[in-house]
């Protein structure tokens, strides 16, 4: 069964550094998302992306965050200057339609020191 | 602002017993999802509930939706150890696509 793949599985970075989290959504899916989950807490929506532009973003997704689909397969989340509170598991997801179930990747655990 | 409340947050069950997890949400929504998460793993889609009165079953799990009461339930029948996981309900905000508001999750532990 096709799946969403994320790399790396774990990223450690120093505060103030830039990080790029990478995702390969399911190939025929049209909608892409980033969610995050701070350890032991609930899953929070960050951003949705369709037709090469952001559809919706949450309050968490401030100017430090950006997303890009640089080619036909990858979908990236960039955090420009990481803060300690950015430490979380970041999940990429994709769906075929906007109202289809989301398929989540295995996540990237980001640790900011 | 849409709020999603799950209860209980922690549930310890014995194998063979039945129990129900509740998910209340604060505003009208067209779609409600249930996900399962094993420790350190991703979110696995269990059910999508799209209309009032919808009921879906998969194995020992059954989910239902009452849009008038803004309530969904996830019922566990004759629990087994393999069901131990955290279960999240998530409600579509009805805005643009994919903005799901998740509950805090119910951590289920099934003991022999």
Q: Dump pLDDT digits (tens) for B51-74.
A: 888 899 999 999 999 999 999 999
Mean pLDDT of the A64-74 span: 92
Residue of A5, A89, A104, A106 to mutate for B, most B C-beta atoms under 10 A: A104
- Point out the residue among A43, A56, A93 whose CB comes nearest to the CB of B102: A43
- When pLDDT is cut at 50, 70 and 90, the band that residue B111 belongs to is very high
| pLDDT > 60? residue A101 | yes
Mean pLDDT of the B96-105 span: 82
- Give chain B's mean pLDDT: 91
Report pLDDT for B28.
81
User: What does residue A98 show for φ and ψ, rounded to 5 degrees?
Assistant: -65, -25
- Point out the residue among B42, B102, B103 whose CB comes nearest to the CB of A106: B42
The answer to whether the peptide bond before residue A8 is cis (omega within 30 degrees of 0) is yes
Q: Is B39 on the interface with A (CB under 8 A)?
A: no
In angstroms, what is the C-alpha Rg of chain A? 13
Are the Cβ atoms of A55 and B102 closer than 8 angstroms?
no
Q: Mind telling me how many Å the CA of B48 is from chain A's nearest CA? A: 7
- Point out the residue among A43, A56, A106 whose CB comes nearest to the CB of B96: A56
Are the Cβ atoms of B88 and A104 closer than 8 angstroms?
no
- When pLDDT is cut at 50, 70 and 90, the band that residue B96 belongs to is low
Report pLDDT for B97.
61
| pLDDT > 80? residue B95 | no
Are the CB atoms for A15 and A111 separated by under 8 Å?
Answer: no
Are the Cβ atoms of A56 and B45 closer than 8 angstroms?
no
- When pLDDT is cut at 50, 70 and 90, the band that residue B98 belongs to is low
| pLDDT > 90? residue A1 | no
Task: Give me the DSSP letters along A31-44.
Answer: EEEEEEE-TTS-EE
Are the CB atoms for A69 and A32 separated by under 8 Å?
Answer: yes
Mean pLDDT of the A16-42 span: 94
Report pLDDT for B40.
83
| pLDDT > 60? residue A107 | yes
């Amino acid at each position: 069964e096709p799946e969403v793949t994320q790399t790396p599985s774990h990223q450690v970075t120093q505060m103030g550094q830039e990080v790029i989290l990478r995702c390969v959504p399911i190939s025929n899916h049209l909608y892409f998302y980033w969610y995050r989950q701070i350890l032991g807490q609930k899953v929070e929506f960050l951003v949705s992306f369709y037709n090469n532009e952001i559809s919706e973003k949450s309050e968490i997704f401030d100017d430090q965050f950006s997303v890009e689909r640089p080619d036909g397969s990858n979908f990236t989340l960039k955090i420009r200057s990481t803060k300690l509170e950015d430490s979380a598991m970041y999940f990429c997801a994709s769906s075929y339609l906007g109202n289809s179930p989301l398929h989540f990747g295995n996540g990237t655990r980001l640790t900011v020191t | 602002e849409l709020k999603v409340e799950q209860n209980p947050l922690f549930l310890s069950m014995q194998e063979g017993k039945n129990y129900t997890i509740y998910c209340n949400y604060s505003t009208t929504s067209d779609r409600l999802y249930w996900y399962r998460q094993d420790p350190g793993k991703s979110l696995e889609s269990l059910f999508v509930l799209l209309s009032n009165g919808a009921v879906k079953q998969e194995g020992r799990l059954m989910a239902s939706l009452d849009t008038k009461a803004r309530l969904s339930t996830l019922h566990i029948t004759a629990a087994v150890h393999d069901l131990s996981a955290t279960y999240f309900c998530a409600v579509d905000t009805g805005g643009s696509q994919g903005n799901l508001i998740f509950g805090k999750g119910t951590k289920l532990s099934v003991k022999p």
